[in-house]
Structure 1
């Protein structure tokens, strides 16, 4: 009898817990309910677009010359005074800060650069993104969050 009473008490307490934490209340169907925040794994680790470290690297420098003239220059470094820079002379764009970050964000997401890539793979993805077939100089330096570095230079 004692076991039955203990088991019944545990079941009753469990039911109360589930009912109290459930979503069966009077406000469950109302639009003004608070929504849960969705947090990505990168944000859990401290990385997000606002702080500049959501791409798997914290230092990025790119220089592409076409016909021996500057075509694309991009600088992105996560630090206390975070100010990305982006210049694309082919499209006559010269940006700093949040506007530069908007342009870099598009490129970073599209190219999806990773620490296990070769310099040639990274170069090919970046050139494809900018739709550049021929270049006279390509320099890329990336310092990834995992400590790996990618330094790639090619001059024609």
Structure 2
């Protein structure tokens, strides 16, 4: 009788142990939270963080950090206004263009200005005439009467370009 009572206990223990083992080794599609240090994923993240901390003034995507443009045409005073503050978020962009019926701020303004700025390619080494030519061409304002542009380039140098045809 002593042996018969021990067999169900042993069988129950083996069955419970087996089911726990199967559950622990089962297919788990979720990523493990306790990933050992030094994995490739973690190293890539650390490199990206280190690169961003290493640069004192990160390059902007357009070659300048700040742009403030006002163009008047014979039809409209302040026909084109474009403002961009690249040191902060996209929400600090403004674009008004009477000829293109554009009046936007924030992300919408940034979206409209992004392609223009990418194609613009102005640098601080360019002459005043070349900068004005590129900007008026990019904004389709060759018949301007007043042109006023202030740009802060990546190195922190600010230049002002003005012209009047009145």
Q: TM-score, normalised by structure 1?
A: 0.63
Q: Which runs of 5+ in 2 are unaligned?
A: 1-40
Rg larger for: 2
Q: Map 1:1-156 onto structure 2 (within 5 A).
A: 45=55, 47=58, 53-67=60-74, 69-80=77-88, 82-156=91-165
Indicate if the aligned counterparts of 2:151 and 2:159 stay in contact, CA closer than 8 A.
yes
Query: Taking structure 2 as the reference length, what is the TM-score of the superposition?
Result: 0.59
Per-residue deviation, 1:124: 0.2
2:22: which partner in 1?
Answer: none
Which one has a larger percent helix, Structure 1 or Structure 2?
Answer: 2
8 Å Cα contact 2:70-2:147 kept in structure 1: yes
How far did 1:114 drift? Answer: 1.3
Is the CA contact 1:139–1:154 (under 8 Å) kept in the aligned structure 2? Answer: yes
- Paired with 1:109 and 1:78, the residues of 2 have a C-alpha distance of 13
* 4+ long deviations beyond 6 Å: none
Between the aligned partners of 2:98 and 2:113, the Cα distance in structure 1 is 15
* d(CA) in 2 for partners of 1:145, 1:138: 22
Secondary structure (helix, strand or coil) at the match of 1:153 reads strand
Q: CA deviation at 1:133?
A: 2.5
- Counterparts of 1:150 and 1:118, CA distance in 2: 11
Listed one character per residue, the Cα deviations across residues 105-128 of structure 1 (whole Å, up to 9, x for unaligned) are 111111111121122111101111
Report SS of the residue matched to 1:70.
coil
Give 1:80 shift.
4.3
| Deviation by residue 1:111-150 (Cα, 9 ceiling, x = unmatched) | 1111211221111011112222311100010011112222
